[in-house]
Amino acid sequence: MGSDNVQSMDDASGQINFNAGHRERLKQRFEMVGEPGLCDHEILELLLMYSIPRRDVKPLSKQLLQTFGSLRSVIFAGTDSLTRVPGIGRNTALLIELVGTLGIRCLREDMRELPVLNNMNSLESYLRMKIGFGDYEKLIVLFLDRRGFLQSEWCSKGSSSMVELNTVELSRKMALSKNISAAVIAHNHPSGILSPSRDDLLATEKICNLMSDFGIKLRDHLIITEECCVSISDFCM
């Protein structure tokens, strides 16, 4: 049997790894019992082993969970936020972010199997993973074909309290898109407040009118937080 010969990405101390036995036992336990047999910090610890091979990463995994509050929040914290944690370098942050990206891609595959609005559980999960985390507001537009299947998307990033709508870029995207007849838009509220602001309502009307010029019907506007997803239409009844 061969052994991994890995050089440290984030820890260049060159010290002998005295935790190899613990690491191997943790890997074997994961192989035997899978995800249900490990705590959140142990799963995160197992991941950190592959980018920080020469250091005890159990305290670091616990620190990440304490800093961000949950395993999900760690995965979607983003590189900038992760690298603010002592001991987390760029390579480790990118590895963690890549795990979240893989999850988002898998959910997007699920969304392509059914018309988007007939698959609300997958839609809400996808949007929460895509834009529900982080300190900045983000806007996403999902473009649908005549059958309601996802064809493409457009994203825009704003500040901690607002996201500016670039109508020129959005218009260019719609002009170049083919076989698009409807759209769903969503934006996140980093504050966690689900109710729409006056600016949210005005932006919805503006986007709806802009899309109608291209023959695209706005089907819904969703507000996303880490935990929830609501439709603006629920507040306009």
Over range 55-65, report the average pLDDT: 94
Domain ranges of the chain: 20-102, 115-235
At 6 the pLDDT is 39
Record the tokens describing residue 83, joined without a space: 């690298």
Question: pLDDT digit string (tens) for 191-224?
Answer: 888 889 888 898 999 999 999 999 999 999 999 9
pLDDT at 160: 67
The model's pTM is 0.76
Distance CA 91, CA 97 (A): 10
Q: Which CATH number fits domain 20-102: 1.10.150, 1.10.238, 3.30.720, 2.60.40?
A: 1.10.150
Q: Between residues 233 and 102, which one has the greater pLDDT?
A: 102
20-102 and 115-235 have identical folds: no
115-235 folds as Cytidine Deaminase; domain 2 (3.40.140)
